[in-house]
């Protein structure tokens, strides 16, 4: 009986839902427009509010800091290396920010996250917005990784680098009825070749905050911002993992060069537009910010015509060499080791079971 019911539902529900959505779309669009207008008129005044921005040395984090500065907020800029944050602090002050603190912390370490939140609340007495912008992409296929060194590194930054600061800040955000803003990506639901681990981490981040939204209810707002390619934050160098001490120094230098050159990339204007939309949406209390929004059309294909989407990617992207990506993708570049022969099968079985005579 269950099979029959599910078979009927599979045939009836999708087309019926599309018809209902087609008739309801004008009304829904009108209601969304009215909601947007009301939220714009009653948007949050950030004067004197306290905003913590993790990953503030990245291109997106920097531009978000400037947007909050224009709204006269107090800023706490967080990154692993504070050297570049001093210049961002000076620029933010010139744009109208109140007091600006610079804190060196690694957001993949829970103790560092507790410390930066405690220092913020001890100095300002409150915390209103937590903006998580830490992100690290890669440009290699799963098999090209060579070893698994990069795997936990990517998950730590893209997932735990969002979870740990949120966990530390949540009690204070409840007290101020504040907001968590997360910088996600369209790859969380639109898989892209050569970005398997990054896409998986971003999908985990989005699902985590979607669940958290229902747990905190109306006490803490959650804004999930997704972007396509915006340049800046995803270009200007490559992040190569190396186990040697000398290689590690080279990695750090390349990352700093990437951050310093990010603002000069052709996509800098897109980064500014994305940061402006993100901060404006957070101040309005929007649950989602999408820039650009036309990527949503792929959701329809993914649900109702996934084969079309798969064929498109195979035709346009799967055969594209990595070098053609240029500066649009960055972060970790794996060095593929020479192919090795598969190990020979064992002479004897790994597990031996006692043979029982069948009667």
Catalytic residues: 198
Q: Is 342 exposed, middle or buried (0-12, 13-18, 19+ CB in 10 A)?
A: exposed
Q: Provide the β-strand partners of residue 138.
A: 332
**Which residues on adjacent β-strands are paired with residue 56?**
none
- Of residues 273, 313, 266, the one with CA closest to residue 292: 273
Longest dimension (CA), the chain: 90
**What's phi and psi for 185, nearest 5 deg?**
-155, 155
Instruction: Give yes or no for a contact between 128 and 50, defined as CB atoms under 8 angstroms apart.
Output: yes
Q: Could you give the angle at the alpha carbon of 160 between the alpha carbons of 154 and 164, nearest 5°?
A: 155
Instruction: Report CA dihedral (342, 344, 346, 347) to the nearest 10 degrees.
Output: 170
């Amino acid at each position: 009986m269950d099979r029959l019911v599910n078979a009927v539902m599979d045939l009836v529900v999708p087309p019926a839902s599309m018809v209902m959505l087609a008739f309801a779309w004008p009304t829904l669009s009108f209601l969304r427009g009215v909601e947007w207008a009301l939220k714009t008129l009653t948007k949050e005044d950030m004067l004197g509010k306290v905003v913590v921005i993790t990953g503030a040395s990245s291109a997106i984090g920097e531009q978000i800091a400037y947007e909050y500065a224009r709204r006269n907020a107090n800023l706490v800029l967080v990154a692993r290396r504070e050297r570049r944050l001093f210049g961002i602090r000076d620029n933010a002050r010139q744009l109208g920010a109140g007091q600006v603190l610079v804190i060196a912390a690694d957001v993949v370490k829970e103790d560092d996250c507790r410390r930066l939140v405690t220092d913020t609340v001890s100095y300002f007495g409150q915390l209103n917005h937590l903006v998580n912008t830490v992100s690290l992409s890669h440009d290699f296929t799963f098999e090209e990784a060579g070893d698994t060194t990069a795997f936990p590194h990517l998950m730590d930054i893209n997932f735990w680098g969002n979870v740990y600061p949120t966990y530390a800040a949540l009690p204070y955000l409840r007290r101020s009825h504040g907001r968590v803003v997360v910088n996600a990506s369209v790859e969380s639901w639109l898989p892209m070749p050569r970005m398997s681990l990054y896409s998986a981490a971003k999908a985990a981040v989005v699902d985590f905050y979607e669940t958290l939204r229902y747990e905190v209810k109306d006490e803490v707002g959650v804004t999930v911002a997704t972007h396509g390619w915006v340049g800046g934050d995803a270009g200007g160098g490559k992040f190569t993992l190396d186990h040697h001490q000398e290689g590690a120094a080279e990695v750090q230098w390349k990352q700093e060069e990437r951050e310093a050159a990010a603002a000069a990339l052709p996509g800098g204007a897109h980064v500014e537009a994305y940061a402006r939309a993100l901060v404006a949406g957070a101040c309005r209390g929007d649950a989602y910010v999408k820039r650009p929004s036309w990527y949503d059309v792929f959701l329809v294909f993914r649900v109702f015509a996934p084969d079309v989407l798969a064929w498109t990617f195979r035709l346009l992207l799967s055969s594209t060499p990595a070098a053609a990506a240029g500066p649009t993708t960055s972060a970790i570049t794996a060095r593929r080791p020479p192919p090795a022969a598969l190990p020979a099968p064992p002479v004897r079985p790994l597990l031996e079971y006692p043979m029982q005579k069948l009667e």
